[in-house]
Chains A and B, each alone.
Chain A
Amino acid sequence: MIHSLFLVSTAGHIFLEKHWKSVISRSVCDYLFEAQGKASAPENVPPVIATPHHYLISVYRDRIFFVAVIQTEVPPLFVIEFLHRVAETFQDYFGECSEASIKDNVVIVYELLEEMLDNGFPLATEANILKEMIKPPTILRSVVNTITGGSSNVGGTLPTGQLSNIPWRRTGVKYTNNEAYFDVVEEIDAILDKSGTVVFAEIQGVIDACVKLSGMPDLTLSFVNPRLLDDVSFHPCVRFKRWEAERVLSFIPPDGNFRLMSYHVNAQNLVAIPVYVKQNVSFFETGSSGRLDITVGPKQTMGKTIEDVVITVHMPKVVLNANLTTNQGTSTYDPVTKVLVWDIGKLNQQKVPNLKGSLSLQSGAPRPDENPTLNIDLRIQQLAISGLKVNRLNMFGEKYKPFKGVKYVTKAGKFQVRT
């Protein structure tokens, strides 16, 4: 399936290669560079490129191209999903997935890749199993390594997780403080038109868990209002039949952090848009200038404060500079990338944040006829905008009493206001 893997930086530097079958020359990446040259941005490089003898399937993540070389038919999503899993594993191991961290830990990276694929077919992709076989680097261990001249990354014991029927959980987990935390994170994806009318809005949510429980706990998580959930996808640990029958999440959790489920909220429930935006961006025919006026205020917030409000505007290329004043937060305009960022912070009822001023355009250039879109970012603590509520968490199979916690957050997902 996957023949070789190349990691390529945006600058076109191939900094890691791994082959699972015969070696393929790195010159195959030239086809990627060619495509990159044609594309306006790295995101626009097509994920699948056919070359005379191979196919390149790549994902672009954290400023790195993960390029898999394929020789025969394979579902492209299979490879794409796997490459993302590789990136997530690096992220998990090194805290970040960057060229520097990969170069620093090249041996661990190699060992990981060796375990993740056998002959190009995925072997062990569960973080829990991998961590049993290859220990992630820690500060303490790297100190020890420098002093003693190298200790082992590789676990002394052979992993047994692979053999068990719950491959996502390692065996012999022990904690002094047993805790299980669940974060219900909801994102509002919305498109508002010029007048502020909702063109499209929906709520996506995920439940991320951090479970540190000893032994083999069997957890059951139930909701007050599971009917809200329209479409769900689960971590493999969730027993699907229980969900079908009783609408509860029953699972033996992996150890550590994982995404328990993602969901989509029933479309019939009208999405409460927490903010309103009034904007006016106009460019004048004469004088090479324009005017901008944006006002943001809280709308349906269910008594919670809206925090971390940031408005990002991608301006047309002809906008040279912006002379703006605001009554709250800071605004910056980067004339190179043509991005205007207005960092507002908290929204409070009394004062309505406003940003206005003039835009200076390239002289002589025609008035741009496109209007920029506003991208809004925000965060509301302790609120799941859909109203989803966790009812209770029960644990079976172990004697101790775990500490449990649920946190709710609402964020803006792809929240755009058209002008």
Chain B
Amino acid sequence: TKTPRPWSIFGYFELDIELHEMLDSNKDSLKLEAMKRIVAMIARGKNASDLFPAVVKNVACKNIEVKKLVYVYLVRYAEEQQDLALLSISTFQRGLKDPNQLIRASALRVLSSIRVTIIVPIMMLAIKEAASDMSPYVRKTAAHAIPKLYSLDPDQKDQLIEVIEKLLADKTTLVAGSVVMAFEEVCPERIDLIHKNYRKLCNLLIDVEEWGQVVIINMLTRYARTQFLNPNESLLEEGGEKTFYGSDEEEGKEDKVEAAALVVKRKPYVMDPDHRLLLRNTKPLLQSRNAAVVMAVAQLYFHLAPKAEVGVIAKALVRLMRSHSEVQYVVLQNVATMTIKRRGMFEPYLKSFYIRSTDPTQIKVLKLEVLTNLANETNISTILREFQTYIKSMDKDFVAATIQAIGRCATNIGEVRDTCLNGLVQLLSNRDELVVAESVVVIKKLLQMQPEKHSDIIKHMAKLTDNIQVPMARASILWLIGEYCEHVPKIAPDVLRKMAKSFTNEEDIVKLQILNLAAKLYLTNSKQTKLLTQYVLNLAKYDQNYDIRDRARFIRQLIVPTDKSGALSKYAKKLFLALKPAPVLESPFKDRDHFQLGSLSHLLNAKAGGYQELPDWPESAPDPSVRNVEVKYPTSREKRKEKKVEKPFYSDSEGESGPTESPVNSSPDSDTGSGSGSGSDSGSEDSGSESGSEESEGESDSEKDEKDKRKSGKKKAKKTAPEMKKWRIYVSFCVALLLKCSFPSPQAASPTCGPLKTYELLHRITGEGLAVTYCFSRRPFTGDPHMVSVQIQFTNNTEVEARSLRVLEPKLQSGMRIAEFPEIDVLPPGEISTVHGLFNKLINCFSFTPFFVTIQPPVGELMMPIFMTENEFKKEQGELGTRQAPVFMGLAAKVLANLSRVPCGSAMECRFAGKTVTSGSLVLVTVVTKEERAAQVTVNCEKMLIGTMLVKDILQALSQ
């Protein structure tokens, strides 16, 4: 074979032929070499579109690298060669059906990158299909494809929104960032799509990849601005409330009551728990290594957090200042805006903004801006001392900026005005003209504030006109002399004389000021200056610049009275020598914060295309219940998916378990509700749990005493809540005795692990994602034969880890024992963990943090099977007390208690035997089927209570 030669030796024509040959060959290595050369051409910006037909043939090549390079080529040139590009489509369509998820994803990626309008329907179909793919990676690719299709054909918007809506509901971290990106590009106005996914996004956030985090945080900032109330609206938090909530637990109760009363009177602002959730879940991201993430969180806090909490971002932003200079540049721009509104935040970090001689000029200028914004009465002396060293810098642009900064400090802080002015006057003798010029301009502004005091400075400056050449400075001096000519009556005409001499050689702005000076002198001192003014006006009349000619004409009409211009010239003095307001030296960053911080628009101070306005806070909060997620059981398929993919790694239950957060750590706002006693602020969650327990009530109306117990439990919970000031939800849960039992297995005497009835202890909605079920495993417990083994199964349906699951304070009745199961340290999301707990009595309570649950075993589970013959059975039966009840039923033999079946002669009769676990008393059950679907149940047991309950249970079960 021919060894490929470097392409640069050949002319294009020859090269093309050779590449064609290589692409057509059946050797992968030659194809690869050809593709590498072609890609190198593309990279250099050379046109390689002639090769399209030859390249596109190789789209189905087996060699994976050739294939990838062909994709690169195809995406680059498909737009130019639409017809030929269609040849490749079928390959991708095949790829979309591949069993390998990565191949499916890559096919979709390339297909959606081909910008050919004809394939829009194919793309749409592919995206829709991929959006419900099993693999989250393919779904992520689908999310990426959405904006591509949208930019190709905006008419598809409605359909794409449907796909976005579907993907937004996705629970995997892999998809979250990409779909929010698609949302931002396609339908950022459809804020309603976010409601249901808001909490999920907040909770997933920490596990999303860093680029997705930026997009999500920015979007959520906008969302929060439309849905929550301004936390800084009411001045409450600065007053009594803060001290109240910041206080320790030990603080006197009276104080609290008082403060609480105060709060009530002032119509307290209560932060929406969802608002709090966002702030809490974004805060750890300030520690991200990615500057964009840190900035995103910083802007979120700046725009959304209560004043008292915004401070946390300062440290992180200062940290970014050690990064690359481009990062510094952007961060400093944002800090500059922030320092205008929240100066106090950055004051402790003043020295971090000190300037080094090695900083690039643009960074120096921005740091100077920040330093100026931070200046106040207390630190001004330090800052001015620092500025003094800057003035000596070699970087003249920076020196000029420093002089401006000094001027601003002087106008803002009255105490140092004279000091600054003196310093600036000293600079007038600087060797560098630029420095002098800048000083003149700044001094001019300062003098305007109190001219009468400083006529000697004006005199000094008048002398400078001989030396200084910078037009702006000359113009400033002339304006000053003209404006305050009454303070320097002797010098002013002389300056005009000199200027008249050099008039023709001056720059335009200087000429205009000469005219101004002449006019003002004419009005105040016409005796000395009349001729000079005439001369200057005549010169100006023939100037090349029409502005100057205009001005001359205008001034002449005003000040030199003629017949025509009677009316106005009377007021000439008022017109020219009116008292002018002193200029306000403002930061160029003032009011920049109407742009969302961290955005391109903010940086440019101009609206960039596609910028979404940050809305103002609403007057009254929109309905928070829109974010409540419906109670919905996941279908089994979904569940499986969850288990497989969804194991976000590093977050834990902290994100979820808002309720356990103690008010000391949390903001003042979140516990206002519990302070007032009802826990109403926990809004959604609370109502969720309420309805949950109501449901359970409906189910378990059988036991009255239990109900009472539950009620008392609830009552207690309510009482303790305000006392402990903990934001907990107590759920008292009783399990109804719904017994659907399986057939007894033939080897009934042996411990059965067959289908067991599981009971729900905690529903996943009520448990905020933690579902707890339990069942009685009917296995003998190894440690203690007198205990019943219960298998508790925890399922974590959330995206985060749950930690430290344990029995908190088991409330046992006398005589009860409980063998506590070991604490589960970490329960990763989607996982199931099983523990065995044991108890030996009728009713046991397990109290979980923060859930209060009750395990109520059906009486049948408190028994264990024993094996006996029919005769023994009959013998024992005679000795025991009997409970009987007639029953109508379809089929008799159903096991609802842990008993073993006793062999029995009659087909009409079933007998079961067992003993209670604790005391070992015998329990015998006989079910006799009678005619017409009726049956007689007999239970023999020495314990009357157990006998009665068992009969009741069996009855209930059978009658269903």
| Between-chain CB contacts (< 8 Å), 7 pairs | A43-B360, A70-B600, A119-B148, A125-B210, A233-B316, A244-B284, A373-B356
If A231-B319, A240-B287 touch, does A72 touch B609 (CB 8 Å cutoff)?
yes
The answer to whether B288 touches A80 (Cβ under 8 A) is no
Q: Please tell me which one of the listed residues A70, A163, A199 contacts residue B354 in the complex, with CB atoms under 8 A apart.
A: A199
Which residues in window 147-174 of A have CB below 8 A to B? 148-154, 156, 158-159, 162-163, 165-167
Q: Is B259 an interface residue (CB 8 A)?
A: no
Q: Is B64 an interface residue (CB 8 A)?
A: yes
Chain B residues with Cβ below 8 Å from A34 are none
Which residues in window 55-111 of B have CB below 8 A to A? 63-65, 68-69, 71-72, 76, 79, 100-103, 109
The answer to whether B113 touches A119 (Cβ under 8 A) is yes
A414 to chain B, nearest CB (A): 5
User: 3 closest Cβ contacts across the A-B interface?
Assistant: A72-B610, A154-B65, A73-B611
The answer to whether A110 touches B72 (Cβ under 8 A) is yes
B41 to A, closest residue via Cβ: A106
Q: Please tell me which one of the listed residues A199, A241, A262 contacts residue B652 in the complex, with CB atoms under 8 A apart.
A: A241
Chain A residues with Cβ below 8 Å from B527 are none
State the interface size on chain B (CB cutoff 8 A).
110
CA A163 to CA B140, docked complex, whole Å:
11
Task: Name which of A298-306, A364-372, A388-396 contacts chain B.
Answer: A364-372
Known contacts A18-B43, A60-B326, A77-B292, then 18 further A-B pairs from the complex at CB < 8 Å, ordered by chain A residue: A19-B76, A47-B329, A72-B608, A72-B609, A75-B292, A75-B296, A75-B599, A80-B291, A107-B40, A110-B43, A119-B112, A121-B178, A125-B210, A236-B209, A241-B284, A244-B284, A368-B394, A372-B357
Question: Most chain-A CB neighbours within 10 Å: which of B112, B151, B394?
Answer: B394
Q: Is B13 an interface residue (CB 8 A)?
A: no
Q: Is A16 an interface residue (CB 8 A)?
A: yes
Q: Is B648 an interface residue (CB 8 A)?
A: yes
B395 to A, closest residue via Cβ: A40
Which residues in window 198-216 of B have CB below 8 A to A? 206-207, 209-211, 214
Q: Is A123 an interface residue (CB 8 A)?
A: yes
Q: Please tell me which one of the listed residues A21, A50, A74, A240 contacts residue B650 in the complex, with CB atoms under 8 A apart.
A: A240
Q: Is A99 an interface residue (CB 8 A)?
A: no
The answer to whether B209 touches A154 (Cβ under 8 A) is no
Q: Is B290 an interface residue (CB 8 A)?
A: yes
A331 to chain B, nearest CB (A): 20
Chain A residues with Cβ below 8 Å from B601 are 73
A80 to B, closest residue via Cβ: B326
The answer to whether B29 touches A76 (Cβ under 8 A) is no
Chain A residues with Cβ below 8 Å from B30 are 149
CA A123 to CA B178, docked complex, whole Å:
9
The answer to whether A158 touches B358 (Cβ under 8 A) is no
The answer to whether A200 touches B351 (Cβ under 8 A) is yes
CA A326 to CA B514, docked complex, whole Å:
58
The answer to whether A235 touches B40 (Cβ under 8 A) is no
Task: Name which of B31-39, B685-693, B907-915 contacts chain A.
Answer: B31-39
> Quick one: CB contact mask for A371-411 with B, threshold 8 Å, 1 for yes?
11101000000000000000000000000000000000000
Chain B residues with Cβ below 8 Å from A368 are 394
The answer to whether A44 touches B360 (Cβ under 8 A) is yes
Chain A residues with Cβ below 8 Å from B4 are 149-150
Which residues in window 81-140 of A have CB below 8 A to B? 81-82, 84, 106-107, 109-111, 114, 118-119, 121-123, 125
The answer to whether A17 touches B324 (Cβ under 8 A) is no
If A80-B324, A156-B64 touch, does A149 touch B33 (CB 8 Å cutoff)?
yes
Q: Is A23 an interface residue (CB 8 A)?
A: yes
Chain B residues with Cβ below 8 Å from A18 are 43
Q: Is B137 an interface residue (CB 8 A)?
A: yes
Chain A residues with Cβ below 8 Å from B392 are 369-371
The answer to whether A241 touches B32 (Cβ under 8 A) is no
Q: Is A48 an interface residue (CB 8 A)?
A: yes
Q: Is A264 an interface residue (CB 8 A)?
A: yes
Q: Please tell me which one of the listed residues A73, A154, A156, A235 contacts residue B609 in the complex, with CB atoms under 8 A apart.
A: A73
The answer to whether B431 touches A233 (Cβ under 8 A) is no
The answer to whether A114 touches B79 (Cβ under 8 A) is no
The answer to whether B144 touches A118 (Cβ under 8 A) is yes
CA A240 to CA B294, docked complex, whole Å:
15
Q: Please tell me which one of the listed residues A121, A165, A371 contacts residue B649 in the complex, with CB atoms under 8 A apart.
A: A165
Which residues in window 220-248 of A have CB below 8 A to B? 230-236, 239-241, 244
A264 to B, closest residue via Cβ: B319
The answer to whether B63 touches A152 (Cβ under 8 A) is yes
Q: Is B406 an interface residue (CB 8 A)?
A: no
The answer to whether A17 touches B45 (Cβ under 8 A) is yes
CA A370 to CA B145, docked complex, whole Å:
58
Chain A residues with Cβ below 8 Å from B358 are 373, 375, 414, 416
Q: Please tell me which one of the listed residues A71, A156, A193, A232 contacts residue B287 in the complex, with CB atoms under 8 A apart.
A: A232
Q: Is B598 an interface residue (CB 8 A)?
A: yes
CA A16 to CA B356, docked complex, whole Å:
34
The answer to whether B288 touches A81 (Cβ under 8 A) is no
Chain B residues with Cβ below 8 Å from A166 are 649
The answer to whether A150 touches B326 (Cβ under 8 A) is no
A43 to B, closest residue via Cβ: B360
Q: Is A333 an interface residue (CB 8 A)?
A: no
The answer to whether A191 touches B284 (Cβ under 8 A) is no
Residues of chain B touching chain A, judged by Cβ–Cβ distance below 8 Å, are 1, 3-4, 29-30, 32-33, 36, 39-40, 42-45, 63-65, 68-69, 71-72, 76, 79, 100-103, 109, 112-113, 115, 135-137, 141, 144-145, 147-148, 151, 173-174, 178, 181, 206-207, 209-211, 214, 218, 284, 287-292, 294-296, 315-316, 318-319, 322, 324-327, 329-331, 351-352, 354, 356-358, 360-362, 386, 389, 392-394, 430-432, 598-601, 603-604, 606, 608-612, 645, 647-652, 654
The answer to whether B354 touches A150 (Cβ under 8 A) is no
The answer to whether A81 touches B327 (Cβ under 8 A) is yes
Q: Please tell me which one of the listed residues A17, A154, A414 contacts residue B68 in the complex, with CB atoms under 8 A apart.
A: A154
CA A193 to CA B36, docked complex, whole Å:
57
CA A317 to CA B394, docked complex, whole Å:
9
A144 to chain B, nearest CB (A): 12
Chain A residues with Cβ below 8 Å from B29 are 148-151
CA A199 to CA B389, docked complex, whole Å:
12
Chain A residues with Cβ below 8 Å from B141 are 118
B515 to chain A, nearest CB (A): 33
Chain B residues with Cβ below 8 Å from A23 are 76, 79
The answer to whether A240 touches B284 (Cβ under 8 A) is yes
Chain A residues with Cβ below 8 Å from B109 are 118
Chain B residues with Cβ below 8 Å from A200 are 351-352, 354
Chain A residues with Cβ below 8 Å from B432 are 369
Chain B residues with Cβ below 8 Å from A150 are 4, 29, 32-33, 36
A168 to B, closest residue via Cβ: B209
> Quick one: CB contact mask for A250-287 with B, threshold 8 Å, 1 for yes?
00000000010010100000000000000000000000
The answer to whether A55 touches B360 (Cβ under 8 A) is no
Question: Most chain-A CB neighbours within 10 Å: which of B4, B318, B598, B600?
Answer: B600
Q: Please tell me which one of the listed residues A41, A77, A78, A163 contacts residue B137 in the complex, with CB atoms under 8 A apart.
A: A163
If A75-B296, A114-B68 touch, does A165 touch B647 (CB 8 Å cutoff)?
yes
Q: Please tell me which one of the listed residues B210, B603, B647 contacts residue A48 in the complex, with CB atoms under 8 A apart.
A: B603
The answer to whether A77 touches B291 (Cβ under 8 A) is yes
CA A58 to CA B330, docked complex, whole Å:
12
The answer to whether B289 touches A41 (Cβ under 8 A) is no
Q: Please tell me which one of the listed residues A50, A76, A369 contacts residue B330 in the complex, with CB atoms under 8 A apart.
A: A76
The answer to whether A414 touches B144 (Cβ under 8 A) is no
A366 to B, closest residue via Cβ: B431
Chain A residues with Cβ below 8 Å from B389 are 193, 418
A235 to chain B, nearest CB (A): 6
Chain B residues with Cβ below 8 Å from A244 are 284
A120 to chain B, nearest CB (A): 9
Chain A residues with Cβ below 8 Å from B609 are 71-73
Chain A residues with Cβ below 8 Å from B72 are 110-111, 114
Q: Please tell me which one of the listed residues A43, A73, A78, A114 contacts residue B214 in the complex, with CB atoms under 8 A apart.
A: A78
CA A333 to CA B1, docked complex, whole Å:
58
> Quick one: CB contact mask for A37-56 with B, threshold 8 Å, 1 for yes?
00011011011101000010
Q: Is A59 an interface residue (CB 8 A)?
A: yes
